[in-house]
Amino acid sequence: MELWFRYMHRFGLVGVKYIDDIICHFRWHKESKTVAESDDFRKDDNAILFTMLNQSGAPEVVLDHFRHPRTEAYQRNWDFEKVDKSLLIAYVANDLAMKHYSSHDYEKATECVKWAMKYGHPRNQAFLSKYLKLNLLNPKLMDWLRDLKNRSSTESIKAE
């Protein structure tokens, strides 16, 4: 994560290119650092994101997610002028909205999706669907619809 942060800080998104080819495979086994020390990696990720989001003026509901656990190693003022701060907040808020929605925390999900909208998240079909669901449907109705959808998915798998 720190390597990506340094790259983005220096070059911005312009230098990032998407390719379909797989250029490496990660070794995820119990002895790998990524798995064995995943808590430490999460602390680093949270520290970097918290610092960037805090400096960008992100709302508390977004910052709260990255407060703990985090290391203090990255607590300084970063100069990341090549990063669009509004879009950073918008995309992180949208990602958090999905996480909160998945865990049935509709209040936080609704707050996050509103911030994502305010900060300029692209209005694609998936985003608008989530935004409308969270702002128009009663939480009990959402739970009932999700249960119905999960039940029908499970039944179709059993039928195969």
Residue spans per domain, the chain: 1-11+33-74, 84-160
pLDDT tens per residue across span 10-21: 777 776 777 776
pLDDT tens per residue across span 25-84: 556 666 666 666 677 778 888 888 898 899 999 999 999 999 887 777 667 777 777 789
pLDDT tens per residue across span 72-124: 766 777 777 778 999 999 999 999 999 999 999 999 999 999 999 999 999 99
Whole-angstrom distance, CA of residue 116 vs CA of residue 98: 11
Note the pLDDT of residue 159: 63
* Residue 27 CA from chain centroid, whole number: 23
Please report which residue ranges of 37-138 form alpha helices under DSSP H: 38-56, 60-67, 85-102, 106-118, 125-136
Structure tokens at 160: 């195969």
The CATH number assigned to the domain with range 84-160 reads: 1.20.58
Whole-angstrom distance, CA of residue 103 vs CA of residue 134: 13
